[in-house]
Chains A and B, each alone.
Chain A
Amino acid sequence: MNLDLTFVAEIIAFALFVWITMRFFWPPLMRMMDERAKKIADGLAAAERGVRDLELARERAVAILHEARSEARTILEAAGQRSAELIERAEKTATEQAARELQHGREELERAWEQARLALQKDVALLALEAARQVIAQEIDPARHAALLKSVAERLQ
Chain B
Amino acid sequence: MTPMQYIQEHMQYWQVGKGLLSIHLDTVIVSVVLGSLFCGMGIWAARRATSGVPGRLQNFFEILVAFVDQQVRESSHGRNRLIAPLALTLFAWIWLMNFMDMLPVDLLPRLAHLFGAPHFKAVPTNDLNLTFALSVSVFLLMMFYNFRVKGFKGFGREVLSRPFGWYAAPINLMFRLIEDLAKPLSLSLRLFGNMFAGEMIFVLIAALLPWWFAWIPGLGWTLFHLLIITLQAFIFMMLTIVYLSMAHETH
Measuring CB to CB, which residues of chain A are less than 8 angstroms from any residue of chain B?
1-11, 13-18, 20-22, 24-26, 28-33, 35-36, 39
Q: Are B28 and A13 in contact (CB under 8 A)?
A: yes
In the bound complex, what is the Cα–Cα distance between A9 and B35 (angstroms)? 13
Measuring CB to CB, which residues of chain B are less than 8 angstroms from any residue of chain A?
17, 19-24, 27-28, 31-32, 35, 38-39, 42-43, 45-46, 49-52, 54, 58, 61-62, 65-66, 69, 81-82, 84-86, 88-89, 93, 127-130, 132-134, 136-137
In the bound complex, what is the Cα–Cα distance between A32 and B93 (angstroms)? 23
Given known contacts A2-B20, A5-B20, A29-B45, is B89 in contact with A10 (CB within 8 Å)? no
In the bound complex, what is the Cα–Cα distance between A33 and B133 (angstroms)? 33
Chain B residues with CB below 8 A from A31, complex form: 51
Give chain A nearest CB distance to B87 CB in angstroms. 10
In the bound complex, what is the Cα–Cα distance between A13 and B136 (angstroms)? 13
Give chain B nearest CB distance to A28 CB in angstroms. 4
In the bound complex, what is the Cα–Cα distance between A15 and B137 (angstroms)? 8
In the bound complex, what is the Cα–Cα distance between A3 and B127 (angstroms)? 10
Q: Are A10 and B42 in contact (CB under 8 A)?
A: no
Q: Are B61 and A25 in contact (CB under 8 A)?
A: yes
Given known contacts A17-B35, A22-B82, A26-B88, is B23 in contact with A4 (CB within 8 Å)? yes
Considering the complex, give the chain B residue whose CB is closest to the CB of A4.
B22
Chain A residues with CB below 8 A from B54, complex form: 32, 36
In the bound complex, what is the Cα–Cα distance between A16 and B137 (angstroms)? 12
Q: Are A5 and B86 in contact (CB under 8 A)?
A: no
Considering the complex, give the chain A residue whose CB is closest to the CB of B25.
A6
In the bound complex, what is the Cα–Cα distance between A35 and B53 (angstroms)? 12
